[in-house]
Structure 1
Amino acid sequence: RSLSEAMSVEKIAAIKAKRLAKKRTTIKSNDYSDTLGVVNSDLRAILDYDVDMTKDIISRERQWRT
């Protein structure tokens, strides 16, 4: 039996509409964010800032003679 024989056209259309409505309201997971919700570009900016701060701290350290 085909689907059109088992259900009416209206019933099939209602199921399709319900599925599309559900699809629109669900949150899509993307590969650009991790479990904390930090986007990859935000993470890159945080890491760049951290590297800059570390370089600044190291440059101000007193250099002892060896």
Structure 2
Amino acid sequence: MITIHLNEQPLNIDENVNISQLLHQENYPQIGIAVAINQHIISKSNWDDQLLQDGDNILIIQATQGG
């Protein structure tokens, strides 16, 4: 197990988890969001390849409608 911070909350996850798996595990949609790891935006095309590391700070930003 490793510990990451997801939207400033500590979370224990298995090793070798990528962004797509984390989003599925935490019930986030795959569209309409942006993901940053340690303040670096990760392109959606890299979500399957980007493995999370112990201590990573993950920020998930979900688009909202309004006006």
TM range (shorter): under 0.3
Name the structure where strand makes up a greater proportion of residues.
Answer: 2
What TM-score results when the alignment is normalised by the length of structure 1? Answer: 0.19
Larger Rg: 1 or 2? 1
Flag the structure with more relative contact order, 1 or 2, with Cα contacts below 8 A and sequence separation at least 6.
2
Name the structure where helix makes up a greater proportion of residues.
Answer: 1
What TM-score results when the alignment is normalised by the length of structure 2? Answer: 0.19
